Structure 1
Amino acid sequence: MTNPYIAALNTATKYPSIPTYHALDPKNGGLLEAPTTFDGDVILTEKVDGTNGRIVLFPDGDYFIGSREELLHARGDRIANPSLGIVEALAPLADRLKPRDEHRQILVFFLEVYGHKIGGAAKQYTSSGRVGYRLFDIACLLPDVLEWDRAQISAWRESGGQRFCTEATLQRAANAEAIELTPRLGLVPGAEVPASVEDMAAFLAGRLPETRAALDEGAGGGPEGIVLRSADRSVIAKARFQDYRRTLKRRR
């Protein structure tokens, strides 16, 4: 039987779904002419194509490592699951993270683990079998949340209950812990982000002609897409090359 505490922790620390910048048509999966609205500046970052990993760090220094869907490992090998190479990639980082217990909060570091045999796009990042990771978000939560039932926790998470770091705080934390962030591609006013599907496809190609997260010189270099977010992270969306190629191909 699953440990109720670990099940609650797993549910509370999963990364919520990021909507696409243009809404998806439920009929065929294509993009609709319905873009996300941003007020103020928009931070552009590269969306790295790998597998989602997370490090759940407690104020006392204990930690868990997980994939997008499940917890795989805990300090002291209390859980051990080698799935997708996530634990092997992230355990050295988890061992050196410094707990911050001034507010008695649980910190969750969300990282994209990518490279050797991780996903279908691995060759775009490495030709020599290297594995890397990039930090893309940090959330914090109070332990009280773990006392709720799982359905309540899930609803809380998907409705924005997790408290994420702002861009400035995320950058400070990455610098303090010496963790590379997903590549930053620039800052643009919300009014300058293209509204149409066709213009957004051109915007992607201009902003990210090749990946900036390659692990070696022989990598293929094909990027997955861009994440768009407000500075306070109140609005976030993703734009993937394949979605725009597929949609525009259908229109021709």
Structure 2
Amino acid sequence: MNNPYLAALNTATKYPSIPTYHSLDPKNGGLLEEPTAFDGDVILTEKVDGTNGRIVLFPDGDFFIGSREELLYARGDRIGNPALGIVAALEPLAARLKPRDEHRQILVFFLEVYGHKIGGAAKQYTGSGQVGYRLFDIACLLPDVLEWDRTQISAWRENGGQRFCNEATLQRAADAEGIELTPRLETVPAAALPSDVEGMAAFLAGRLPVTRVALDEGAGHQPEGIVLRTTDRSVIAKARFQDYARTLKRRR
């Protein structure tokens, strides 16, 4: 991306990495008996297996649409890249979003776009070629960040610089904009979370036996996993079925 401003915007609005609930073994990619520490209430949401999309909304109503790694589209077709079907899925939503921030901040809506030909799990969500999206986070940032060096922006992002909505604010924003969230499965006390790998594998199976975001009757319905987060989003982690199945198979 040759335009310095767009490069900075892209870097500042990428979604940060989410750790796995159990640490990954750097030697073989398996899970270690080292769980993420949670306190208080923990919200469990379905992790949808599609492709990460983002809508970057400016205070004046201008917007950009991006994938996980790059900006794909801007209002007025100033950028045009139809990659992964993200723009087709999200442009109608982006066009109707209304800036609501009184502090003149940039809002970033993070959504999972899934379904027809999107990712290896597309058939788990649709058998008739449908595409859907679900909102899973909203962050805000001040325009001043875009004046920083890109290396500085990357470090800021990966170290929690983006300010994400807490659960209550995220719910209100989703309701106000008429956007469906990733399914909320349950809220549990941190003490109820299994600390061992085998226990978490059983925990996942009990909480999410089938996906809750299937788009039609022909879907395979196999879920990817669960995202765990505190109500204030200060701690967040992911737990994927395949990671636990692979680890337990290797142990046996």
Normalised-by-shorter TM-score class: over 0.9
Question: Which one-letter code corresponds to 1:120 in the other structure?
Answer: G
The 2-side partners of 1:64 and 1:250 are apart by: 44
Question: Which one-letter code corresponds to 2:161 in the other structure?
Answer: G
Q: Are 1:31 and 2:37 counterparts?
A: no
- Cα displacement string for residues 206-240 of structure 1 (whole angstroms, at most 9, x for unaligned residues): 00000001001110000000000000000000000
State the match for 1:204 in structure 2. Answer: 204
1:98-117 aligned within 5 A: 98-117=98-117
Question: Which one-letter code corresponds to 2:53 in the other structure?
Answer: G
The 2-side partners of 1:183 and 1:157 are apart by: 26
Cα offset, 1:16, TM superposition: 0.2
Matched-pair contact (CA < 8 Å) for 1:60–1:101: no
Q: Are 1:222 and 2:222 counterparts?
A: yes
1:90-169 aligned within 5 A: 90-169=90-169
Question: Which one-letter code corresponds to 1:21 in the other structure?
Answer: Y
The 1-side partners of 2:102 and 2:251 are apart by: 55
Q: What TM-score, normalized by structure 2, do the two folds share?
A: 0.99
The 2-side partners of 1:40 and 1:133 are apart by: 30
Q: Partner of 1:19: helix, strand, or coil?
A: coil
The 2-side partners of 1:116 and 1:9 are apart by: 29
State the match for 2:175 in structure 1. Answer: 175
State the match for 1:73 in structure 2. Answer: 73
Q: Partner of 1:129: helix, strand, or coil?
A: coil
Cα offset, 1:101, TM superposition: 4.2
The 1-side partners of 2:65 and 2:204 are apart by: 32
1:36-75 aligned within 5 A: 36-75=36-75
Cα offset, 1:102, TM superposition: 1.1
Q: What TM-score, normalized by structure 1, do the two folds share?
A: 0.99
- Cα displacement string for residues 32-51 of structure 1 (whole angstroms, at most 9, x for unaligned residues): 00000101000000000000
State the match for 1:5 in structure 2. Answer: 5
Matched-pair contact (CA < 8 Å) for 1:45–1:226: yes
Task: Report the number of matched residues.
Answer: 252
Cα offset, 1:176, TM superposition: 0.2
The 2-side partners of 1:3 and 1:34 are apart by: 42
Cα offset, 1:100, TM superposition: 1.9
Matched-pair contact (CA < 8 Å) for 1:44–1:186: yes
Question: Which one-letter code corresponds to 2:70 in the other structure?
Answer: E
Cα offset, 1:99, TM superposition: 0.8
The 2-side partners of 1:105 and 1:160 are apart by: 17
The 2-side partners of 1:170 and 1:100 are apart by: 13
Runs of 4+ in structure 1 over 4 Å off:
none
